[in-house]
Chain A
């Protein structure tokens, strides 16, 4: 490891410890955009995943395949679709959301939605056979049995939300395309890292990278703690 890298790393740590205003603003916006995106996605994905997990028909299996495919949706493709929808000539251009945090949230919802739906669906499916059947034999109505299944799958559903957050907070392609990385407005951690690296401002880029890594560590720790609970 050469001296230059260590110097940059040292300066980056100092920047973090100094609680640099720009740095705080960027981290704050990242958390807001990704947090809002995951929350909105979860509001739709959990009921949808639950419904699909409880149903077993030909068309549900077909939809499942599509959802699994979209779980690997490249962020730039999500960014492109949202860009086309929100651009002036697009169907939603009138809303003038392009280059705002809302455009970034929409793009990240597109990325988080299939992940949370797919993982919720799998969680519900894995519990439905045994738990659903047991609840029915104990006199539960179909609705009460479905609630029992959801309750049993709760840890896996929370894990799905955390996995969705992990995915969107680290992505760069979608937010860059629809947010534009505008200073003080749409600049988030990942897009700032790209910019600062290009400018040669390695201290700032590294400090953001460190914060992103720490956030990823925290998210994964939460995920592992939640999943560990299953084993008792």
Chain B
């Protein structure tokens, strides 16, 4: 579905991303792991078109992506951030936003999405009065109501309590199985990557160190750095 070739991203002299080749298959949940500064979030922002790579090419379904990506392509994917930014209006208006900008308003779909994340009845609540967990679930509802082909998640559960983490992980698994949504999730939490991902990418210092099926990477990592990270050793 997505293919990156020789993607380099530099800020001035500092190179933060250098990916020779990376393929993400359609319909998979792919976990991106790695220590801070590995370039995980930058990778997501580049795929989403929020940042321009310094060099290299991205292909979406075999077609080369220009920068900024065409609106029609951007509308096939969406992203949820670690700290959800909700609009200062009702929960309902937040969830309908993406449909509205596409001219495809659908009240039923919005209500279904809110119900899907377990917040039925909260439609009229002011979004800014929600707890952290509720806000993240609404951010997720706002994304999934769009039925994206590709869902990019940047540490969506990093600041949440275990109960909310479990709710969101279950939602992602359901979304993937029911709608065949491709999910790319950046996580610091190796256990989360193990729980929900079919394949994982391990990154460090801007490079992809290893990529493979989750079971294989966790049981028989081919790189010593991956093994150390999985064991919980301090790697920098």
- Could you say which residues of chain B place their CB within 8 Å of the CB of A140? 97-98, 101
The answer to whether B78 and A232 have CB atoms under 8 Å apart is no
The answer to whether B85 and A138 have CB atoms under 8 Å apart is no
The answer to whether A139 and B87 have CB atoms under 8 Å apart is no
- Could you say which residues of chain B place their CB within 8 Å of the CB of A171? none
The answer to whether A139 and B85 have CB atoms under 8 Å apart is no
The answer to whether the Cβ of A197 comes within 8 Å of any Cβ in the partner chain is no
**Stretch with Cβ within 8 A of B (4 or more), from A1-9, A126-134, A172-180, A186-194:** A126-134
Report how far A139 CA is from B71 CA in the complex, Å. 7
Nearest chain B CB to A147 CB, angstrom units: 9
The answer to whether the Cβ of A221 comes within 8 Å of any Cβ in the partner chain is no
Which residues of chain A from 138 to 155 have a CB within 8 Å of any chain B CB? 138-141, 144, 148, 151-152
Size class of the contact patch on chain A: 10 to 19
- In chain B, what residue has the closest Cβ to A153? B88
Which residues of chain B from 65 to 103 have a CB within 8 Å of any chain A CB? 71, 74-75, 78-79, 81, 85, 87-88, 97-98, 101-102
The answer to whether B101 and A152 have CB atoms under 8 Å apart is no
The answer to whether the Cβ of B197 comes within 8 Å of any Cβ in the partner chain is no
The answer to whether B142 and A138 have CB atoms under 8 Å apart is yes
- What string of 1s and 0s marks CB contacts (under 8 Å) between A105-139 and chain B? 00000000000000000000000001101111111
- Could you say which residues of chain A place their CB within 8 Å of the CB of B48? 137
Interface of A is mostly: helix
- In chain B, what residue has the closest Cβ to A137? B79
The answer to whether B101 and A139 have CB atoms under 8 Å apart is yes
Report how far A135 CA is from B78 CA in the complex, Å. 10
Report how far A134 CA is from B102 CA in the complex, Å. 15
Report how far A148 CA is from B102 CA in the complex, Å. 14
B interface residue numbers (CB < 8 A to A): 48-50, 71, 74-75, 78-79, 81, 85, 87-88, 97-98, 101-102, 126, 128-129, 142-143, 146
Q: List 27 A-B contacts (CB under 8 A).
A: A130-B85, A131-B85, A133-B50, A134-B81, A134-B87, A135-B97, A136-B50, A136-B74, A137-B48, A137-B50, A137-B78, A138-B78, A138-B101, A138-B143, A139-B74, A139-B75, A139-B78, A139-B101, A139-B102, A139-B146, A140-B98, A144-B101, A148-B97, A151-B87, A232-B88, A232-B126, A232-B128
A interface residue numbers (CB < 8 A to B): 130-131, 133-141, 144, 148, 151-152, 230, 232
